[in-house]
Amino acid sequence: MGWLSLSIWVPIICGALLLLLSREDQAKAVRWLALAASLAGLVVTLPLIAGFDTSTAQMQFVEKALWIERFSIHYHLGLDGLSFWFVPLTAFITVIVVIASWESITERVNQYMGAFLILSGLMVGVFSALDGLLFYVFFEATLIPMYLIIGIWGGPNRIYAAFKFFLYTLLGSLLTLVAVIYLYNQSGGSFDILTWHQLPLSAKEQTLIFFAFFAAFAVKVPMFPVHTWLPDVHVEAPTGGSAVLAAIMLKLGAYGFLRFSLPIAPDAAHEWSWLMITLSLIAVIYVGVVALVQTDMKKLVAYSSVAHMGFVTLGFFMFNEMGMAGGLVQMIAHGFVSGAMFLGIGVLYDRVHSRDIAAYGGVVNTMPKFAAFALLFSMANCGLPATAGFVGEWMVILGAVEYNFWVGVGAATALIFGASYTLWMYKRVYLGPVTNDNVRGLQDLSCREFLVMGVLAVAVLYMGVYPKPFTDVMNVSVAELLKHVATTKLQ
């Protein structure tokens, strides 16, 4: 078992063990054990960071063992520049969520912490799997802990939101299973994803496979028009659930496009790129306008996530290095920024128990430290230079201009809408005089909350000022993927 396996199974095993500590008097010990387990999950990713070779597009840290011999199913793991950063990002966000949930979760603490740790390991498995069926198992298994997190610790309409989340994502994935089985047969009985990349599929086969994968990945991103589940789920999910959903789970769908749709069905990806670009621009522009009229902070940031993920899919389907690398950078940056936005809303909700913008006003007068952090994260959400939110969006806009000037213009409008809805929300919540007794009695950040906000602030600023470590990892793999897609297209 190598470091990659440890990054999957350490949080899963620790999470399962926490489920055994069910007595209420064990809650304090559970919190500390969950923190230790999440830190252990982060520590085992450090050798991956130290040992990754940025000069090659080959899979690294590969582990392969026969799992089910009859069907030639393997426990096959590996990382390249397309998937690498999402492993430490997942472990990092898990640590943050455990700390952020320290006091807000008081019932079934062991189950809550255990569910997040298990979810963390499963998501790392999705990014690491090189066997098609193993990928599908990890991909579908992530639904279970998130379903429980929403359904047990969510808001008043949590059951409705949990069912909507589960049904949307499960129904989309069923077509993906059909595609996986078809590719298994076409490859002579192999579930190896890298082997599937070399299959000589006809135009009709590629189109059907492309849309079969699209059904699962577009819902998970989520792309317009199958994005409607996300705002409802975010509103009802507990703060930690919203943070992980936005920071990591949405990336599973976008990653699927890179690992499956583009390399397996390159001709279909080229043929239908106009549709993907159109849907992405609608998400960027229309959903940005929808965010302007929201009165619920969580719902506003949820629509913001749809718009930002529209940048990701837009970058992938323009078939140039700047756009595709920009999409990947945007995925990482969105993990930091959206996670910080939802955790910030959670800080206010823990005190006032309301997500309505109208319930606040003048928070800067009573929580000046928190208002400063909120301003930084709001600016990053707008795409301010020197923050993580700027780098990916700027790269995608440059790639869009290279692809088509008017597509670039459409993408650039997102910066206007992003600034409009984010800064308007900040103005109404934080600025001006104190308008009600709830705000007048607020206490500023505790040491624990300051730690969470401070660590995320450092991540947002570091990536914005010095994105080179992130882009260096992906450059060679992005170039190799584009070369593969272009070569296949010409044959």
Helix, strand counts (H, E) of the chain: 25, 2
CB atoms within 10 A of CB 223: 24
For 157-176, give one letter per residue: b (16+ CB within 10 A) or e: ebebbbebbbebbeebbebb
Instruction: State how far the Cα of 451 lies from the Cα of 454, in Å rounded to an integer.
Output: 5
C-alpha closest to that of 213 among 166, 262, 249, 246: 262
Q: Which residues share a beta bridge with 296?
A: 356
Tell whether 324 is covered by a domain. Answer: yes
Rounded to 5 degrees, what angle do the CA atoms 333, 337, 342 make? 145
- What is the chain's Cα-based Rg? 22
Tell whether 258 is covered by a domain. Answer: no
Q: Give the phi and the psi of residue 129 in degrees, each rounded to 5.
A: -70, 135
Which residue shows structure tokens 């522009």?
285
Q: What is the DSSP string of 71-93?
A: GTEEEEEEE-TTTTTHHHHHHHH
pLDDT at 288: 81
Angle subtended by helix axes 109-128 and 3-18, to nearest 10: 160
What's 296's DSSP letter? B
Instruction: State how far the Cα of 354 lies from the Cα of 338, in Å rounded to an integer.
Output: 19
Whether the Cβ atoms of residue 63 and residue 4 lie closer than 8 Å to each other: yes
Tell whether 466 is covered by a domain. Answer: yes
Residue 417 domain boundaries = 272-491
| Residue 221: partners with Cβ closer than 8 Å, 6 or more residues away | 227, 250, 253, 254, 309, 312, 313
pLDDT by 10s per residue, the chain, length 491? 789 999 999 999 999 999 888 777 677 888 899 999 999 999 999 999 998 888 888 888 999 898 888 888 889 999 998 999 999 999 999 999 999 888 887 788 888 999 999 999 999 999 999 998 999 999 999 999 999 999 888 888 889 888 888 888 888 788 888 899 999 998 888 888 888 888 888 888 899 999 999 988 988 888 888 888 888 888 888 888 889 988 898 899 899 999 998 999 899 988 888 999 999 898 888 888 888 888 888 889 888 888 888 889 999 999 988 999 999 999 999 999 999 999 999 999 888 888 888 888 888 998 999 999 999 999 998 888 899 989 988 899 999 998 888 888 888 887 888 888 888 889 989 888 887 888 888 888 889 899 999 999 999 999 999 999 999 999 999 999 998 888 655 44
pLDDT at 464: 92
| Residue 353: partners with Cβ closer than 8 Å, 6 or more residues away | none
Whether the Cβ atoms of residue 430 and residue 350 lie closer than 8 Å to each other: no
Query: pTM to 2 decimals?
Result: 0.91
Q: Which residues share a beta bridge with 76?
A: 64
| Residue 274: partners with Cβ closer than 8 Å, 6 or more residues away | none
Whether the Cβ atoms of residue 5 and residue 77 lie closer than 8 Å to each other: yes
CA distances from 487 to 7, 56, 257, 276, 399 (A): 35, 19, 18, 21, 20
Tell whether 423 is covered by a domain. Answer: yes
Tell whether 101 is covered by a domain. Answer: no
Tell whether 354 is covered by a domain. Answer: yes
Q: What is the DSSP string of 184-233?
A: HHHTTS--BHHHHTT----HHHHHHHHHHHHHHHHHHTTPTTTTTHHHHH
pLDDT at 373: 94
pLDDT at 310: 87
Whether the Cβ atoms of residue 336 and residue 391 lie closer than 8 Å to each other: no
Structural domains of the chain, count? 1
Instruction: State how far the Cα of 427 lies from the Cα of 405, in Å rounded to an integer.
Output: 34
Tell whether 305 is covered by a domain. Answer: yes
pLDDT at 491: 47
Rounded to 5 degrees, what angle do the CA atoms 38, 451, 351 make? 100
Rounded to 5 degrees, what angle do the CA atoms 476, 477, 480 make? 85
pLDDT at 117: 94
pLDDT at 223: 84
Tell whether 277 is covered by a domain. Answer: yes
**407 alpha carbon, distance to own chain's centre:** 25
Instruction: State how far the Cα of 355 lies from the Cα of 335, in Å rounded to an integer.
Output: 21
